[in-house]
């Protein structure tokens, strides 16, 4: 079977660091699905406006180890220390580097310079990620409230307290972008095994470089500057 991208997604994340580890965790994040020329037919999206969410099937394009895999991996949510079978995780280091994300449809724009596009919220994808297929989310089939989720069930939905000084917040300039940044930072972008309150981290978001530290349950932003600076 040969598959090729039908679209690419545009997001505010030019690199992997800082992207939420699952879709929907930062609901304010916005992205736009832009189709390849041969798929820019509005008829292909007919009826999608009646759905609130959809599935994106995509490729781990920034995975430098693409084509290699190990039978066990170390999930970040287990601190990066415990080994779990690769098929019991959503690790990018898999036999076929394919990802799956459920996102909310914000709007469908039919008349753009790039043809019909889908604006979505809650995407956990890097800018330029290839999309291989799109399927509507169907509640009666896709929702399983009674499901058992292994080691994930024992993990708390931890969120950090985010402190962004007024001087830094002003450099974002957009309340929606600032709110989304706070959502992302609250998820703790660091590797789970990092616990150094003196270490300064840098994350690219929305054309800005965000520098921060984490001490206990508090993440403090030290500086926000344009990436070109």
Locate 211 and state its tokens.
């520098």
8 A C-beta contact, residue 90 and residue 36? no
pLDDT tens figures, 40-98: 999 999 999 999 999 999 998 877 655 577 899 887 767 667 888 999 888 888 888 89
Dihedral sign computed on CA atoms, order 116, 121, 122, 128: positive
What is the length of the chain? 229
Sorted by where each starts, the structural domains of the chain and their CATH numbers stand as 7-142 (2.40.30.70), 161-226 (no CATH)
| Tens of pLDDT, residues 130-143 | 999 999 999 999 99
Share of the chain above pLDDT 90, in %: 59
Q: In this model, does residue 12 exceed pLDDT 60?
A: yes
- Phi, psi dihedrals of residue 11, rounded to the nearest 5°: -135, 180
DSSP 65-96: TTT---SEE--GGGTTTS-EEGGGS--S-SSS
């Amino acid at each position: 079977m040969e598959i090729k991208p039908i679209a690419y997604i545009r997001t505010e994340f030019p690199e992997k660091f800082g992207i939420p580890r699952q879709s929907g965790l930062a609901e304010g994040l916005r992205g736009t699905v832009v189709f390849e020329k041969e798929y820019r037919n509005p008829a292909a999206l007919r009826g999608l406006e009646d759905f609130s969410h959809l599935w994106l099937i995509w490729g781990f394009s920034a995975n430098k180890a693409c084509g290699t895999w190990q039978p066990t991996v170390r999930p970040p949510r287990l601190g990066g220390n415990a080994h779990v079978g690769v098929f019991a995780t959503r690790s990018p280091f898999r036999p076929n580097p394919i990802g799956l994300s459920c996102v909310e449809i914000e709007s469908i724009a039919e008349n753009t310079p790039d043809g019909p596009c889908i604006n979505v919220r809650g995407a956990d994808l890097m800018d330029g990620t290839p999309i291989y297929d799109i399927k509507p989310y169907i509640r009666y089939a896709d929702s399983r409230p009674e499901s058992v989720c292994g080691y994930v069930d024992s993990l708390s939905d931890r969120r950090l307290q985010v402190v962004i000084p007024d001087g830094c917040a002003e450099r974002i300039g957009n309340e929606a972008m600032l709110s989304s940044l706070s959502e992302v930072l609250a998820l703790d972008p660091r590797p789970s095994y990092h616990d150094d309150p003196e270490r300064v981290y840098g994350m690219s978001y929305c054309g800005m470089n965000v520098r921060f530290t984490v001490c206990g349950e508090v993440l403090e932003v030290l500086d926000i500057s344009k990436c070109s600076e």
